Structure 1
Amino acid sequence: MSEEETPECFENSCKPEKIVDVFTLINALNKKYEKLQRDYIQELALTPTQHFILSQLWESDGQQFKELAEKCGCSRSTITGVVDTMEKKKIVIRALHPSDRRSLLVKLTEKGKNLKDITPPLESIVNGCCPEINQEEMKKLGELLQKLLNSLKF
């Protein structure tokens, strides 16, 4: 099965009964979301991770590598590589932390700040893609997924 395909059961209206079905469904949803995100940021010549870092910096400019790695769910070395690429594109810079000279911050350049003005929030695109799900159902789904995540033991 290719990355873009999902099991036929989940394209229709299958009701998962086993935990493995739930995880397969979550995986299929994630793949569709990643495709939507890739299509959305493709014209900006950004990867999903670069876009995520930009989103974090638009909210709060000047973050440490460690903070970005935690928020992104990536290793610090991965973030370092992504930031290297973003520096080459001149959308971020590394700056010394004002109170800790051993630490570096990732900060937006003017070009990085300007990208926010031409980039509608991903949320506005995602919100329009699921008209069949109301706010109450979305809240319940979020609660159930959080419960599932918290209950995983391995």
Structure 2
Amino acid sequence: MEQDSIKQSLKLFIVLSRAHRSLNDIVNKYIAERGLNPTEFAVLELLYHKGDQPLQQIGGKILLASGSITYVVDKLEQKEYLRRVACKSDRRVTFAQITDKGKEFIESVFPEHERKIDELMNELSPEEKDTAIELLKRVGKNAAGQ
């Protein structure tokens, strides 16, 4: 019995990994065609939807190593999509802030980005999406707890 469980778990892992890769390949291609890499897009999207963010906290919010944040922020700053802003109350803290040019960029690409993701996910019914969300949350929480 245990061997059947192991085989099934491995199969689920492989199917999930392949689905993730296929979805990411499509979404990342769309982002690349607009001149950004996926990490740059994630930072810009975070700033657009959540407002100014301390540079030290961005990595944790988009699952990126903190050492890479400086490089990504530099690139977005060169493109004039964000600026660094010193914290008035704590000189050790610097915020990333989206610029008007960055907002215009996100507003021009995000609706199509959302539509593409919706199109990819619409293989599932609304009920199936809810079930998948709940099941994957459980798996993720279990993994995080180990």
What's the TM-score, normalizing by structure 2?
0.86
Are 1:56 and 2:38 an aligned pair?
A: no
- Which among 103, 123, 128 is matched to residue 114 of structure 2? 123
What's the TM-score, normalizing by structure 1?
0.82
Taking only aligned residues, the RMSD between alpha carbons, in angstroms, comes to 1.8
Distance 2:141 2:16 in 1: 15
Distance 1:125 1:83 in 2: 26
Alpha-carbon offset, residue 81 of structure 1: 1.3
Could you tell me which runs of 5 or more consecutive residues in structure 2 were left unpaired when the two chains were aligned.
Answer: 1-6
1:1-154 mapped onto 2 (5 Å cutoff): 18-121=8-111, 122-152=113-143, 154=146
**Partner SS for 2:121:** coil
Distance 2:46 2:137 in 1: 22
Paired residue type of 1:23: F
User: Given the superposition, is the C-alpha separation of residues 115 and 19 from structure 1 closer, same or farther in structure 2, using an over 3 Å criterion?
Assistant: same
Paired residue type of 2:86: L
Distance 1:32 1:72 in 2: 20
Runs of 4+ deviating beyond 6 Å: none
Paired residue type of 1:78: S
Q: Tell me how many residue pairs correspond in the alignment.
A: 139
Distance 1:128 1:40 in 2: 13
Ranked by relative contact order (alpha carbons within 8 Å, sequence separation 6 or more), the top structure is: 2
Alpha-carbon offset, residue 80 of structure 1: 1.4
